Amino acid sequence: MTSIDPDLVGLAGRLADASGPIVRRYFRTPMSVDDKEDSSPVTIADKQAEEAIRAILQRECPDHGVLGEEFGRDRIDAEYVWVIDPIDGTKAFITGIPIFGTLIALCHRGRPILGVIDQPVSRERWLGVSGQGATLNGAPIAVRGCDALSKAYLYATSPSMFLGADKPSFERLAGKVKLARYGGDCYAYALVAMGFADIVVEAQLKPFDYCALVPVIEGAGGVMTDWRNQKLDLSSDGRVVAAGDRAAHAAALALLAG
């Protein structure tokens, strides 16, 4: 297990401190919304928040790589790479729903070892550090037990993210749980880490969508992998399963595999 320099943990917090005021400034205010090549929305808040984060990283650790949603990749073959999503859940952001978050991850040789989920409006900040547990605003958090899918609360951002063979796979799982909910974005993973939900299953994610979530889920005692039960890294295929209970995780994987 990689030992994490406490200064890097502190740096992650400062990155969130820098981006939060920018996001709050634009939340629920009139602004233009542009469409990217993949038709996903982007705003001035996304861009300015990532610019602020990148400026700090360039100043404080110029030898580290950076992968961000809005401004791409820089030195991602470096030993340490920061993975940034300035607003995960831009659709929620532009419609005034405070379930989006700023995601900040640090990867060591491709694997996430530190993750921050920052909700700048509610001022909730989840931190996961490999080998050190997970916290919400400094207080320890933990997942809950859920030994059967019939008891599980399941989240996915949208059922439309499951295409081709993934669609019936997800539908099999959604049909077995007690409650299936949609639209949670990164906030749903935080709910699993706090013990209020049990499973999140998603597809078509990018590294900046999932890297920060892994240390938070695992630090709270949960498990997060791809659909083949492989550890997530920068090269994963974007299909993820996060669960608070290992038995529920295994059962979900079995249904997804058909």
What 8-state DSSP symbol labels residue 230? P
Q: What's the predicted TM-score (pTM) here?
A: 0.96
The pLDDT value recorded for residue 1 is 55
Distances (CA, A) of 80 to 65, 86, 133, 139, 152: 6, 19, 21, 27, 36
Distances (CA, A) of 194 to 68, 140, 141, 258: 27, 9, 5, 29
Structure tokens at 146: 């859920």
Helix (H, G, I), strand (E, B) or coil at 199: strand
HEC profile for 117-161? EEECCCCEEEEEECCCEEEECCEECCCCCCCCHHHCEEEECCHHH
What are the tens digits of pLDDT across the range 85-107?
Answer: 999 999 999 999 999 999 999 99
Count of helix runs (H) and strand runs (E) in the chain: 8, 15
For residue 220, is pLDDT > 90?
yes
The pLDDT value recorded for residue 3 is 77
What 8-state DSSP symbol labels residue 141? -
The pLDDT value recorded for residue 34 is 87
Which structural domains are found in the chain, ordered by start?
Answer: 6-140 (3.30.540.10), 149-257 (3.40.190.80)
pLDDT bracket for residue 178 (50, 70, 90): very high
157 CB-near residues (< 8 Å, 6+ apart): 89, 182, 183, 184, 185, 188, 202
pLDDT bracket for residue 168 (50, 70, 90): very high
End-to-end CA distance of the chain: 33
